[in-house]
Structure formats: structure tokens, C-alpha cells
Amino acid sequence: MHGAPGRARRPASSLPPSRVPTDKEPVPTDPTPSPWRLSVAPMMDWTDRHCRHFHRLITRHARLYTEMVTTGALIHGDVPRHLDFNPSEHPVALQLGGSEPADLAHCARLAETWGYDEVNLNCGCPSERVQRGAFGACLMAEPELVADCVKAMRDAVSLPVTVKHRVGIDQVDSYGFVRDFVGTVALHGGCEVFIVHARNAWLKGLSPKENREIPPLQYAWAHQLKRDFPQLTIVINGGINRPDEIAEQLAHVDGVMVGRHAYHEPWAMADWDERFFGAAARTADCDAVEDAMVAYLQRISAAGVPWGHASRHMLGLRNGQPGSRRWRQVWSDSRTKASMPEVAQREARAAMQATASRQNPAPVQLTGAAS
């Protein structure tokens, strides 16, 4: 299969906690870094196949995840619509939402057939809609059921089966809760990779957005999990954005998962391969990435897919550049979407350059003046 099997364990990092590299300094890596060393989180309505193709133009090595797909959507719905992806996306994982072991096993087999590198079980989403389906974060209250789900999937496929979860639910403020959850799912389910969103999930009283912001971060609990279960791969998620923050976490755990920051500031991923995977420095700039994305938009448009479904994911590409707001406005304009992608690109770049010129006029060159 495409993905690296989740059997071999490697130490988290040789970097001592007291020595964190600067923003541009490479982080020491093992000769073969963990497949989970750095990844982009599954995000509903965002990390579809168009978004993942765009992200892959920026980082070649970070692991990418689908939006959560429910077992019901795959069993009763349009499988190709949910599972089709571009080969360029590898390594890519399918995140499943469900709580019936037999259904999850069936969907894991579909993931393997379609060529995914990993199956991930969502035990962290706190939304009421997900709770009504009896999966997501509420599953943390039933670790034995989660273990049964993981075991059923592991028995069905050769892919790594991983779990993404919180450190607790509601106001349970106890490291022992998440420790026992991980221990049970590892021992009885055979799970070897845990992606830990280091906040509690409040099942009542908070929106999904508030659940990403209000419950306090508990990084120390994720670090303790790695110490208590050194044989497991522990990946940390939640509020970790800057390269120095990623490097600091890699001194304690095996991997870091970045969420909304990677989506809103995609060019932040441009140095990941060199810095965290020891790869050669990238040569493509923002212009080259935009060019490649426009070529992709042309291909999907020719196949009958409205290209605006994909272009929305690259709106953060030029954040911080002079004229970037005007560039985004042109790409977002519904009238622009009636034209071909290459026309939209010309208009967006021209508008950006015109705005940048007004914001930063060239200095006047004085000639013949006495010195």
C-alpha cells in the first residue's frame, strides 16, 4: 500500500527541551522521520481534494487529511464523490466518523481500495450534529467501543488505523481520563498512533468554534502520554502555528498537526519540507504555486467542475504581500468566475500590482543635484 505502516516506532526527537531552533534553523530529524512528523488537520468544508492538491503544491512531505466522512455517507451515498483524490496528494489519510465496528471496517476496506495511506477515526469533534450520530468526541466516554472499532478496522485492512481525540470531555479535568482512554484503545484495539487535540471537548454549551478556543490547552498532558506510552506514536494538535512552536513540540512528541493556520496562511508551509523533513530547499515561489494551481483549475473546469470550488482554497496564498487584498477580491468576485481561470489570474495579478504601486510608489530619482 502507499502509506508507511504504523508498526515501527521511533524516538520523538533528539532535540533537548532547552534548545529550540530559531525560525529558520532546520530541526534535527531521524534518518527516516515519522510519517506523522508534520500534518495538516482534517477540517470540515475545507480540506477537500482541491484544498489538498493546493497544499501539496506547497509541501511535498506533510501528511494531509480529508474532511471527516461518515460511514453512512459511504455506505448509502456516492462513494467516488467522497473518496476520489489526486495521486499527487500522497501521503493522504481518510478520516471516518462512525461508531459501528462493522460499518467502519467496511469503510476502511473502501479506503484501502481507493489507495489511501491511513484511516483515522474521529473521536474529537464536539458538534451536536456529530453527537446525534453517536460518534466524535462523545466516543471518548466509551473507550472499549473505540477499541472494538479500531480492532475491526485493523482486522479488515493493512493500513495504519489511527485515532484523533481530545484530552477530555466536558469539565473532566484529569490526565487520568485521557491516559486510560489511550491505554484501553492501544491495548484492546491495537491502535499505535494517537493524534491528541490538547483541549477538552465540551459537549454542551459551546459551539465547535468555541470548543477550539475556550477550553484551555493542556500540552503537558500530551507530552506525558508520550512518556507513559513510549512505544506509541503521539501527535499533538491545537494552537500550534509558528515554526518555533512546532519545533518546541517536536522535542516532546513524535509529530505536530496544524489546523486553521495552515489553511488561512498556506505559505507558512513553504519551509516545512526543508526545516522539518531535511528535504532540499524549495525553488518555487508564490507565483509558481499560483501558476500550478491555475493549471489545475483549467483541468477541472474542462472536466465540468466549477473552478471556484477549488480557487477559494488559495485565497490566503499572498497574505502579507502588497496588494494581496485586491488580489483576493478579484479571485473571489462572482463575475470573475464566469471567465476562464487564466483570465482571472491575469486580472488578479494586474489589480495586485496596480494596488502595490499606489501603496509603494517608486522613489523619485533626482538628477543634477549638488552633493
Q: Which of 51, 107, 123, 125 is catalytic?
A: 125
CA angle centred on 258, ends 198 and 161, rounded to 5°: 75
Q: Quote the Cα angle for 76-78-80, to 5°.
A: 135
Which is nearest to 142 in space by CA: 153, 154, 158, 131?
131
Collapsed DSSP state (helix, strand, coil) of residue 339: coil
Q: How far apart are CA 164 and CA 167, in angstroms?
A: 10
125 assigned to active site = yes
3-state secondary structure of 11: coil
Q: Is the peptide bond before 230 cis (omega within 30 degrees of 0)?
A: no
Residue for cell digits 502520554? 225
| Whole-number Å distance between alpha carbons of 352 and 202 | 43
Cell of 351: 489589480
AA letter at 133: G
Within the chain, what is the greatest distance between any pair of CA atoms? 86
Nearest-angstrom CA–CA distance, 365 and 221: 60
Cell digits for 144? 472499549
Is residue 216 reached through a cis peptide bond, with omega within 30 degrees of 0 on the bond before it?
Answer: no
Residue 327, CA atoms < 13 Å, CB-side half-sphere: 22
The answer to whether the CB of 165 falls within 8 A of the CB of 196 is yes
Q: Mind giving me the DSSP string for 46-61?
A: TSSHHHHHHHHHH-SS
Enzyme catalytic residues: 125
